[in-house]
Every structure is written in C-alpha cells, then in structure tokens.
Amino acid sequence: QVTGCGHRTPIMASPVMAIKTLSVKHWQHSCGKCGCEFHVEEDSARMASDVPLYVAPSEYPFSILDRKKGVVCPHCKHTAIVNLGKGTNKKVELSLLMHPQWLAGSPKLDANGNQFGGSAQDDAISSSSWNQVRASKVRFLEVRGELPDEVTCPETNVTFKSGGGTVPKPANFACASCGTVQPIVTAVEATKKTAPASVYTIQGYSPKLAATNNPYGGRFFLPANDSSALNAAQAEWERRRDADLADYWPRSDIPFGHMTHQRQPLPQHGYLKWAEMFNARQMLVHSQLMKAICNTGTYDWATREYVLGAFQNHLRNQNMFSFWHIKLDKLAPALSNNNFHPKSNVVEVGVFPPMGYGPWSSTVEVLRKGGEWSVDPWEAVSAESLRRINPGLGGQIAGKSEKVRTGDPVLGAKVLCASSTDLDQLGDGSVDLVITDPPFGDLLHYSELADFFYVWMRLALKAKYPAHFTAEYTPKSLEAVANRAREPEDADGFYQRLLTQCWREAHRILKPSGILAFTFHHSEDEPWVAVLESLFDAGYYLEATYPIRSDE
C-alpha cells in the first residue's frame, strides 16, 4: 500500500504465515558423556528446512538422528552411535514467520525515479521491477515450540515481536517508513488502481522427500526470491492479450450493485473490471484454457460444456480473492464467504500438479465423481439413526455414516432457464414435488456473485445459447432479494412481492397432493417473517419438520 510519504508497506496482521503441528518418531536418550537427557528424533520436523530455525526456550532438548554419523548431544555436542530400540510419536509445534526486513516494505520509486508497478492495471516492465525488489528482501524464520512473544533470527540477529504485523487495527495499516496509521481503502483509492501485490512464499511438494519419513509428508515452504517466472508470464500476457487470446477473456466492467459497490465497494479497492480480479499469469492461463475448450479437437458440444463445468470451478481457485487458510494449511477459494472482500493473504496454486486442492485436476475430479454417482447413486445413512431402526445392522457400522446404494440411476432431467415467478412451460397440477431454498432477503445476492463466473462462461456459450448468454451480465430484474441498490425505495416489499409470486406459481403447478419443501434457516438475520407471510399469501398450509417457538 502507498501512504502519503510515498512508501509501500505490506499489509499483514501478523508475521506468522503458516502454523503446523507435526508428528515425529522419537526416543528418550541420555548422553554418554555429560549425562544430560534429550529426545532423539528420527527426522527433522520442519516446514521450511532451508530457512533459519529458532527453538523456543520452552522446547525440550532434542537431536536429529543421523544413522551414519550417530547422535549429537544438544548439551555438550558429543557424538555417538546409539542403539535406540522402539520409538514413539510426539507432537512438534511449528510456526513460519516473515522476517521484518520484508515487512518494512519498499519505496514508491526505483533507483531511476520510475514508479514501481504491481497493480492489475500496471504494465509488465514496471511490475517486473516491483517483483524483483520485493523478492530481493524475502527472508523467513521458522519457530519450533510454543510461539513466544519475541523471537531472534539466528542469521541476522534481529529480534522482533511474533505478533507484530503492519495492521494496528482492523481495515488500517501503519506505514513502515513514517509510522502514519491510515485506512487501507483510503491509501488504495488514492492510487486509482488495485493494491500492488507481490509473491513472498512458495509451497511445494517433493516425491523424493515424501518417500522418506519426512513428518510434513513431502511438502515444504521456500522464500519466493526469484520472480523471473512471474515476470515472464506477465510479459507474455501483454503480447497475447489483444492477439490470439483476444476473444477468450472478459472485458466487462463491474456493474453497480449492492454486493460490489455498497456492501464491499470494489471501486475503492481499484477493481473496475472483472478481469482485474486476476493477475497476469492467471489471465494467461484462463484465456488459454478457454481457447482450448472452445477449439481443441473435434469433440461434441456436450463434452465441451462438461469441461466448462471444471473451468468454472477453476476460476474460484485461481484469482486474487482466493486466500491461504493458515490454520487449515490450504487454499480457500474465492466467494467462500459469499462476498468480494479483497484479501491480504492471496494464494495462487499451480495449474496442473497431480495433487492438492485447487489445481485443474481437483476441479475435473468433482465432475467425474458426479458422473459416476448419476449412474450408480448412493445416499449417506447416519449410523446413529440406523442403530435406532435396526440395532443389529447399525452396530456393524464403524464410522458415523455408511454409503447405501439406491439402485436408482438418474435417467436424465429437463433443465429450464426461467424466472420462478412465471413457469408457463409447466401445466397446472403437473408436478409432484417442488424443492427450493428461498433467498435470504438482503444477505445474499446471487446474480451479482454469479457475474464473476458469467462474464467468462458467456464467451463460450453466447453463440450456442443466444437467448441466455447474449447479455453482458446475468438478468437481475426478477431476482427475489431485498437489494437496496436496485430497489432503494422499498427493497423488503419488492422481495416479499416477488417471493409470494414464486410460491403462487409453485402452488399452481403442484398436484393436489403435491408438496413444496424448502429449507428455513431461522436466525435474526434472515427475514423469516416475510418468508412465512409470502407463503400464507400464496395459499399454503404449513407444516414444520422441527417445532418453532410459540411466539413465532
């Protein structure tokens, strides 16, 4: 972020960027020379073995086993070949910290007076300079044991607070140069661009390391001190974006909406176009994937649409709103919280690795499993409920549930794209069951969230389905939500009127014995009164599957 003094300061609430508890085999041992006790550990419990290690004072003394050289006593440094026998597992707490020299940030201009890039709107040359200057300062420190308030890097002898990031209070940051505390959105908005981003760590996987007894399962962290791959990708994107890839990426603006301009003002964060939610390398990958899906080979259109399903999932994983979940130690895709809130700990996963959560293979796998299920469906049966019905059978289940094959394959379905307020394609009394999950008033605005995907998908689908994908954005006028951006005068009334009409249409198409089933999440936030009133207005008799309080 850029402050009034022209300094760029990273936004990190804490220098801690990864936390992990690993299991390692160990033996209790006494030194044959000094007599002091310590643990001998079979392998080094590390997340980033190539960075300095700080051992917390509370940690029990330990030594790593070297089967050729023996064991080194951590007290007197005596080395001996030992016969250890049978060991046991123990837990080792690890934290990976960013060194304060990277958190100190960088100046606004380079040595020649040129402004650094790094924003979605910046060119490849200025961004390359930015990437290089940030990569040159990346340095980590791994801490073993319960994280103390202060740690000292054994390589630089710099002591710093383990909880001291650059965020003094929510939505603000402190300039590392002049100390000014300033709202993040104020600093970003002044630049008229997105916040400059830079890569600081790489997490990789080594099959050779995994083949050993490595406690982290072959995974490792490395400081991202080489930006050449990122720079090359951005330069290639600049060359091809308006050439062979011109028709395969969206150029649409982000339209005014409640989710994008009122609840989370994206323009204040510099996001004016949907394409700006992706970095240059992601844009290069996505546009090439889109081009391949549309043109490669002689596949029929049904196959291409099938792959488009994977592409849509891939968009959630590969963008500048996906973030690293520190405690779960994995990627969390964009829209995990159903909003467009910009993230400070953005993560970008590899496109074609054979494992992990987020790559292309993981998005295709979901579709493959769905296809298999449609041929041979199953339902998860709770072990607890089965034990109530059939104690003998339920007692044979070891887990919480069991998959039960239904023998009822999916024979196909007719998909209609229409508003639930007007289902004229369906005759009166023609439907046995209507299942729906009503919108949550003003909490979720699905059409505005869906535009994130739609602007990409329409590139492939508008020629095939012109009635549904010719428009630049998803249709919104009949969305049954209380959207104050579109209905500023009476958003709640609009919501209830449309919802009532949806229930009336469902009532019309239901058979006399038909059932309308819907989920009802009771909470103070959901407009449950409006939902119930709209159902009564539509002529329904209500039956709750769980009791509700008498005052409701």
**Per-position pLDDT tens, the chain of length 552:** 555 677 899 999 899 999 999 999 999 999 999 999 999 999 999 999 999 999 999 999 999 999 888 999 999 999 999 888 899 999 999 999 999 999 999 988 888 999 999 999 999 999 999 999 999 999 999 999 999 999 999 999 999 999 888 999 988 999 888 888 999 999 999 889 999 999 999 999 999 988 888 899 999 999 999 999 999 999 999 999 999 999 999 999 999 999 999 988 999 999 999 999 999 999 999 999 999 999 999 999 999 999 999 999 999 999 999 998 888 888 999 998 889 999 888 999 999 988 888 899 989 888 889 889 999 999 998 888 888 888 888 888 888 888 889 998 988 888 888 889 999 999 999 999 999 876 667 777 889 999 999 999 999 999 999 999 999 999 998 888 889 899 999 998 998 899 889 989 999 999 998 998 877 655 555 556 677 777 777 777 777 665 554 444
- Bridge partners, 405 (sequence order): 378
Q: What is d(CA 1, CA 116) in angstroms, rounded to the nearest whole number?
A: 12
Residue 216: the pLDDT is 92
Q: How far apart are CA 267 and CA 256, in angstroms?
A: 10
Sign of CA dihedral 253, 256, 257, 262: positive
Rounded Cα distance, 164 and 16, in Å? 9
Residue whose token pair is 């709202």? 183
- Indicate whether this model's pTM tops 0.75: yes
367, 312 Cβ separation under 8 angstroms: no
At 551 the pLDDT is: 45
Predicted local confidence at residue 552, as pLDDT = 40
| Cα–Cα distance, 410 to 341 (Å, whole number) | 38
Residue 417's SS3 state is coil
CB 195 within 8 A of CB 173: no
pLDDT value at residue 550: 44
* Tokens 């709750």, located at residue: 544
Residues in contact with 152: Cβ distance below 8 Å, sequence separation at least 6, in sequence order = 54, 158, 159
Q: What does the DSSP assignment read for 493-507? A: HHHHHHHHHHHHHHH
Distance from C-alpha of 189 to C-alpha of 201, rounded to nearest angstrom: 27
User: What is the pLDDT at residue 399?
Assistant: 86
What's the pLDDT score for residue 535?
A: 78
Residue type, 419: S
Burial of 131 (0-12, 13-18, 19+ CB in 10 A): buried
